[in-house]
Structure 1
Amino acid sequence: MERPVDFSRSYDVVVAGGGNAALCAAIAASRAGASVAIVEKAPRFYRGGNTRHTRNMRCAHDSATETLSGPYTEDEFFDDLMRVTQGNTNQHLARMMISRSKDMLDWIAEQGVRFQPSLGGTLSLGRTNSFFLGGGRSMLNALYRTAERLGVHVAYEAEVTDLEMDGDRFVAAEVTTPDGTKRLEARALVAASGGFEANIDWLKEGWGEIAENFLIRGTPYNRGSLLRTLIDKGMKQIGDPTQCHAVAIDARAPKYDGGIITRLDCVVFGIVVNNRCERFYDEGEDIWPKRYAIWGRLVANQPEQIAYIIFDARSLQLFMPSLYPPVTGATIEELAGKLTLDPAALRATVEGFNAAVQPGTFDDTILDGCHTEGLVPPKTNWARAIEQGPFYAYPVRPGITFTYLGVEVDEDARVQLADGGRAENIWAAGEIMAGNVLGLGYAAGIGMTIGSVFGRIAGEGAGSYASR
């Protein structure tokens, strides 16, 4: 039975946040013998932050398992991370995280989470990523059930809005609730409350006014209140305010919380043009899980932050569909008209692309080398003429999942101080510290790796501290 937080008492550990990182921390701290209170900003139905929208987690493993088709070594994981971040990562923390990830699949399963065989096809994740049976919400429910059995207390619609400090030591959290502001005292704090992606004004500080056109595919509750408080209280900031997990999502998606079903995986099968009918990047640069998270930023840099994925009938069944149906036209000109694009300009772009496509054997399961020549930008894989009607398009906008600006931590997940040293009793896990590992770029499932590994470390550290 779920136990509500009792604000009249003191806890060993307060965990701010209610997603994967927070729950891993709460469970680990509780198993270490600590009394734990979770403070979750969202209502119970929407609990869990962005974890609600996840599907899988990337972990290193030495051999195939019941749910993974082959080995994924620590070195390969590290190489993938270095490639997508272009070296913008704390290599020591990254290697530690990857090493610790090898134990996480078993540990997570011990907390009641079940996995399914990984999906194949264009996702190309069958060997590297474990998929949650029932998706992220099912995973969350399993973790909450375990936390409840361990005696963890939970407060919903409760947000940490200030911290009471004694030097670099956390004393109590100021918590805003529907019943007013409460003081919650504890011996240790784990900050796992996500980034600030739902705070458009904060996004504008880095991006400028174009942030008004961004869609937030994640939770509307991640507004960065605790992150801002930590920085104001002297914790060390890390990361670029414009770096984030940003994918191209259907432009018809809601402003917030559209989730995974608004993402589009068809970029590799066609061309992407802006509202001037100009291509602006190589759609076939690499397999989709290693490149999908660059497209939000690419679209953000286009006029009016809008773009269009154009493909033909041969590609319609090659990817998982979006929530919304594609726009359809019997001809390229008809398609352009429905998209309010210049029909002649779109026709010229498509014909120019078709003329540049070189002979090859199309294979959507590998880097097939089907490419263009004499075209800027090129398409280096999966290039084939867009010529078989009907023709299709999806309008896309930048979809922000989570931000990378956060607080710096060490290998114990302890938060670092801006003036040197580390906070005595504050740990962090998940998106609020993701910038330590993700300076830029993304590969599928790494966000869950960060949350799980650092959540467990933070919970163990906070629980051990509180029991001294």
Structure 2
Amino acid sequence: MHDDRVDVVVVGSGNAALCAAIAARESGARVLVLEKAPADMAGGNSKYTAGAMRFVYRGNGDLIPLLRDPADPRLERTDFGSYTAETFGADLLGFNDGRPLSREQQALIEGSYDALRWLASHDVKFEPIYARQSFEKDGRFVFWGGLTLAAQHEGVGLVEAELTAFLRLGGEIRYEHAVTDLLTEGNTVRGVRFETASGETGEIRAGAVVLGSGGFEANREMRRRYMGENMAAARVRGTPFNTGIGLQLAFAQGAEPHGLYENGHATPMDLHTPEYGNLDLPHDERKHYRKICYFLGVMVNARGERFVDEGRDFRNYTYAQFGRAVLEQPGHVAWQIFDAKVDPLLYAEYRFHDAHFVEAETLDALIEKLDGVEDKAKLRQTLAIYNAAVDDSVPFDPTVKDGRGTKGLALPKSNWAQRLDQGPFKAYPVTGGITFTYGGLQVGETGGVVHAEGHEIPGLYACGELVGGVFFNGYPGGSGLTSGAVFGRRAGTGAARFAGMGTEAAAA
């Protein structure tokens, strides 16, 4: 047993938590980060991401200050386009099921570019996502979908850069320290209780606590309770440590659930992906369990039926929903089918040495190899009807929503529809992998957790996946990490101010 005293305790060590820690430390607070995982597994879900961040920008000039290599010669022939606040808002509204933009979404939009500039000021910089977000057209790199930059070395690189920034500022992190309870004085949170991996227990007294410990996606029983049996069957794409402890600690202080608990980010994954994410793989291999090129082919279930409009929108806007759609199919499985025309366009994850697929020279032969398909005759019919419905009069163009769709199908393919007619053909079996949950807590304008009675709980702040109301029925890719930065920065600054370490102390 030992005791400590700091100004701000941050629970967790992912992107949002580290942004909170950096913000609190630059405000002058003594900051301690407590992380349940050992050092090699720390970093929360952020380490498992591709490191992309969506934000408002006006053009190439806004991106240059954010770049790790502003002298990259490719920049001279790159069209990043622009991404306005209005477009970001429209993209979020597309997943709101008729809801207006929430207060949290408005804060995300308004704070997105400032958060990236702020990170860059701490030497957390980025590089263009040429491999996944651009196509070369007429000698120029054309970016699509409003998503342009990612951290060098993806999520691992982002977390490492943020941790380096925090430590450079004089912060401290302790691994294998699981927070088990909050300390209170009256109705004010004044620290945490913890238990180490060796069973040691102790207390940390603090002026404020920031919860940045992620959602509940790694807790199968909480997934079943809030999201249903299909989501209980999901693979967990990220850390096994996001078990909902932050929510439980906040509920014990009177916080009320906020946001859409039944939904979460779920991505199509290789059927044989591990139960949890695997940090032992190099960063450029972990992502290869994803299978998100369905927009270039068709996706069918065990009944031999298509079940989503694969070309409804850029995959940035659909992959977080289509993982759940796969989980809702019989056996929680589907197959993505492609022909030779699009094979060169498939991302590296489809050529990964551990990618599972079957291949055949004809569609009939391919179908015979799909052991899990219950009705092969129905699948032959589905593919024949799809091929006959493709509108060949519209040119195929993967850099835009090309309008090359199908005609007369009850479930259309709205863009990038091409006949499956050139062998060899490939089919990739997929399931759904959950990335993070959408339900969380309500936070105030400085990141304070709101009590069920409407007031903020003194001394308690939250960020990252714990902020509810940011996403509802999906999200535009890259928004999650940006949300972590926006709300993490806010929570860290608010916690430092509450602890008595406001801007006056920082200036002193």
TM-score by length of 1: 0.94
Q: Which moved more, 1:117-126 or 1:8-17?
A: 117-126
Aligned residues: 462
1:60 aligns with 2:63: no
Deviations 1:54-105 (A, max 9, x none): 2211111233233582332222211211123335465333222211212122
1:339 aligns with 2:370: yes
| Counterparts of residues 417-436 of structure 1 (less than 5 Å) | 417-433=451-467, 435-436=468-469
Corresponding residue for residue 118 of structure 1: 129
Deviations 1:202-253 (A, max 9, x none): 1111344334431111111111112112113211211232210111111111
Corresponding residue for residue 76 of structure 1: 87
Check whether the contact 1:89–1:439 (CA below 8 A) recurs between aligned residues: no
Corresponding residue for residue 96 of structure 1: 107
| Counterparts of residues 285-324 of structure 1 (less than 5 Å) | 285-322=312-349, 323=352, 324=355
2:149 & 2:264 partners in 1: Cα distance?
23
1:237 & 1:89 partners in 2: Cα distance?
19
Letter in 2 for 1:59: F
1:198, CA displacement in angstroms? 0.6
Name the SS of the counterpart of 1:257 in structure 2: coil
| Counterparts of residues 68-467 of structure 1 (less than 5 Å) | 69-88=80-99, 91-119=102-130, 120-121=133-134, 124-125=143-144, 127-179=146-198, 180-257=200-277, 259-322=286-349, 323=352, 324-340=355-371, 341=373, 342-359=375-392, 360-433=394-467, 435-467=468-500
Cα distance change of structure 1 residues 96 and 298 upon mapping to structure 2, 3 Å threshold: same
1:209 & 1:22 partners in 2: Cα distance?
30
Name the SS of the counterpart of 2:94 in structure 1: helix
1:244 & 1:89 partners in 2: Cα distance?
19
Letter in 1 for 2:361: A
2:442 & 2:463 partners in 1: Cα distance?
10
Name the SS of the counterpart of 1:389 in structure 2: coil
Name the SS of the counterpart of 1:245 in structure 2: strand
Cα distance change of structure 1 residues 142 and 30 upon mapping to structure 2, 3 Å threshold: same
Deviations 1:335-358 (A, max 9, x none): 223321243332221111111112
Deviations 1:14-44 (A, max 9, x none): 0001001111111111111111110111110
2:365 & 2:495 partners in 1: Cα distance?
61
Name the SS of the counterpart of 2:344 in structure 1: coil
2:274 & 2:412 partners in 1: Cα distance?
33
Corresponding residue for residue 3 of structure 1: none
Q: Which moved more, 1:101-110 or 1:160-169?
A: 160-169
Check whether the contact 2:216–2:242 (CA below 8 A) recurs between aligned residues: yes
Name the SS of the counterpart of 1:84 in structure 2: coil
Check whether the contact 2:226–2:261 (CA below 8 A) recurs between aligned residues: yes
Letter in 2 for 1:337: E
2:57 & 2:228 partners in 1: Cα distance?
42
Cα distance change of structure 1 residues 431 and 87 upon mapping to structure 2, 3 Å threshold: farther
Q: What stretches of structure 1 move > 6 A for 4+ residues in a row?
A: none
TM-score by length of 2: 0.87
Q: Point out where structure 1 has 5 or more consecutive residues left out of the alignment.
A: 1-5
2:300 & 2:388 partners in 1: Cα distance?
17
Letter in 2 for 1:455: G
Identity of aligned residues (%): 39
1:62 & 1:83 partners in 2: Cα distance?
22
1:389, CA displacement in angstroms? 0.9
Q: Which moved more, 1:32-41 or 1:122-131?
A: 122-131
| Counterparts of residues 17-32 of structure 1 (less than 5 Å) | 17-32=12-27
Name the SS of the counterpart of 1:45 in structure 2: helix
1:33 & 1:227 partners in 2: Cα distance?
28
Corresponding residue for residue 505 of structure 2: none
Name the SS of the counterpart of 1:186 in structure 2: strand
2:100 & 2:331 partners in 1: Cα distance?
31
1:265, CA displacement in angstroms? 2.2
